[in-house]
Structure 1
């Protein structure tokens, strides 16, 4: 494990700017001190056992050499326990930089150690856990009194999902490696590994829309229609309070309106594991995330569906790209839901503008059902992952075939220009 050490220095304004703009660090707090105990390492226990046995043999049989060896071993164990007995006066924390990252991008754990005592701290090591597995021992440099040091290590981001990091252990060992004092610092934090995405243009639909996206959170009343009810929050227009529902629920409820002139992009992700060969499902998630992110960054409405149902994207009609990527970070392939289940959910929803179906190439497509969907959407596209172009079947709707995420960009741009 390779770590990058930083010399003792005060925090600079550049550090604060980086944390706010790119890292968005969370839980940067003094470490909560857990149990602290000094105990022997496996090597220490072996030396202790050897010392006891050597002393017994030397004393019982009169071997002076064995007795001397046993006494030396016991003395080494005693020295190690005395070395690690004092509890170091230190504050420690661990930061995750950044807290959200795309798959295979760099995320780091940053150990911050502040010496609050009067003596230089030596032999300190930070040990962290990722997904419950103890990993990443980081040897810390000597810390003078009142100084602060930092050490960095890279976190694994090769698998999409929510990764629990911590709690961190602060370890102080003796020079012989026979004993160590362990203290638990802070609590576990979560690193969210998102899907990879590529920049895509929004597919133009057949209706007249705000092509440049909405310029505010509201639109002209002529393009607004009722969508649902939600609880009142400070700043809501009181003219949109639904008094009958408010009286029935005992809470102030307001109408949530949507702008029907904005093109709605509906992304259907097939989560049936039988539809994909090895590794293809992750590419399919990346494709769905790229399509949804493109619409969300243009402030167009987005709907995400899987065989399990409609994925919630927050209270607002414009969820933002962050909500879209966070939600797709947690989807997984399963055997109980198929593309047909996702189409069942889609048939119960209102029609939209653009429909993109992302699926694998291991199962035949329900061509008849997909053909019926085309009449409910202005633009429809099927993206198949892990299938050759020669193996595609005629559906009456445009199809794209990709093996890697980077294959999507040129094919998508050609489709957008049609």
Structure 2
């Protein structure tokens, strides 16, 4: 995923060859050797000084010519689950007539320089690849770049740096585990919310969208089509399908540490993925409010992309998420995911039980606080969710 140039990124390196710290040290040694040797009449010192100066001059000449190369860096894959491997791949093609040696690539990841990647010699007309691992321990967007192509002399006295490659981004999404869909008290279609499988009485108008070849012409909305100049059709949903509402307490104060918060987001992602896999409708609410999903409320990839950008809130908590929940209608299954630091609001959860057929509270971290009559799942790590969820599915 390419990103536009960031005005706050570091200034590009200066053009032309530059001495390294070792090069400046050898240059100083050469100047001092020639000066003292000439002044005191020590021929050996003069010879040593001249040799040092010659080495510096040779290093500058070595790095003077701009290498004929085409360089790019790829982020593979562009989206990855937390802790899964992702790599920056450097691709270098020699477009000149001589073998290139002494090249290395230096990249910046999340604003910090990475260890340089030494590139092997590249014969004319050939291409080489080198890769390095990117950090994926935290969710969110990881900026990669700009990349620097460095050519140095064999002695390490001089180097020429050229900036190349666009700034790209790696999206680190929540880590998920496979969960079964919880059964609901209402009858629903096992094949998901398609108009073809639903009974006519269960369909209701949801929104308008552009006509796609194969759509039923009986659902064309002629008035909107005439107003917009584009053929529009009614989008129908099956209201008999079980609706799942997932509430994430994104307040920092509710969790013992950052890892317990990450486990909570992973749990939400796992539930969302299970519901989306069956193409059932859902809503996701955080302490900041209803997560905007648009028309992609059944697309697991879209929702996981949104969850990748959820950060801990300093001034909000579970109460704010439940306030947002009060403004939407009830459903079949309500899953509340929170930490273990703060006590559960027993009175509010008791009221919510009347609006939903099933209520489950998932708590991430250490603690044993629970509310009477409310199923509670305690998580020390994400893998603990699988057996507990299967027990809920069988209940």
TM-score calculated relative to the size of structure 1: 0.85
1:270 maps to which of 249, 256, 263: 249
Is residue 410 from structure 1 mapped to residue 394 from structure 2 by the alignment?
no
Structure 2: stretches of 5+ with no match in the other structure = 3-11
Is residue 330 from structure 1 mapped to residue 309 from structure 2 by the alignment?
yes
Residues in 2 aligned to 1:169 and 1:216: alpha-carbon distance in whole angstroms? 54
Aligned to 2:20: 41
Is residue 161 from structure 1 mapped to residue 140 from structure 2 by the alignment?
yes
Q: 1:130 to 1:322 in 2, by over 3 A?
A: same
Is residue 189 from structure 1 mapped to residue 168 from structure 2 by the alignment?
yes
Q: 1:342 to 1:62 in 2, by over 3 A?
A: same
Question: What SS does the aligned partner of 1:136 have?
Answer: coil
Aligned to 1:397: 374
1:382 is displaced (CA, Å) by: 0.4
Is residue 88 from structure 1 mapped to residue 67 from structure 2 by the alignment?
yes
**Contact 1:309 1:342 (8 Å CA) reproduced:** yes
Aligned to 2:288: 308
Aligned to 1:280: 260
Residues in 1 aligned to 2:56 and 2:226: alpha-carbon distance in whole angstroms? 72
**Contact 1:34 1:185 (8 Å CA) reproduced:** no
Aligned to 2:5: none
**Contact 2:297 2:303 (8 Å CA) reproduced:** no
Residues in 2 aligned to 1:237 and 1:136: alpha-carbon distance in whole angstroms? 58
**Contact 1:353 1:377 (8 Å CA) reproduced:** yes
User: Greater shift after overlay, 33-42 or 152-161?
Assistant: 33-42
**Contact 1:161 1:193 (8 Å CA) reproduced:** yes
TM-score calculated relative to the size of structure 2: 0.89
Question: What SS does the aligned partner of 2:170 have?
Answer: strand
1:34 is displaced (CA, Å) by: 9.3
Q: 1:221 to 1:74 in 2, by over 3 A?
A: farther
**Contact 2:363 2:378 (8 Å CA) reproduced:** yes
Map 1:78-227 onto structure 2 (within 5 A).
78-214=57-193, 219-227=198-206
Q: What do you get for the CA RMSD once the two structures are aligned?
A: 2.5
1:75 maps to which of 44, 54, 59: 54
Structure 1: stretches of 5+ with no match in the other structure = 1-25, 28-32
Residues in 2 aligned to 1:267 and 1:78: alpha-carbon distance in whole angstroms? 67
Question: What SS does the aligned partner of 1:337 have?
Answer: coil
1:291 is displaced (CA, Å) by: 0.7
Q: 1:215 to 1:254 in 2, by over 3 A?
A: closer
**Contact 1:371 1:395 (8 Å CA) reproduced:** no
Question: What SS does the aligned partner of 1:277 have?
Answer: coil
> How many equivalent residue pairs?
383
Aligned to 1:289: 269
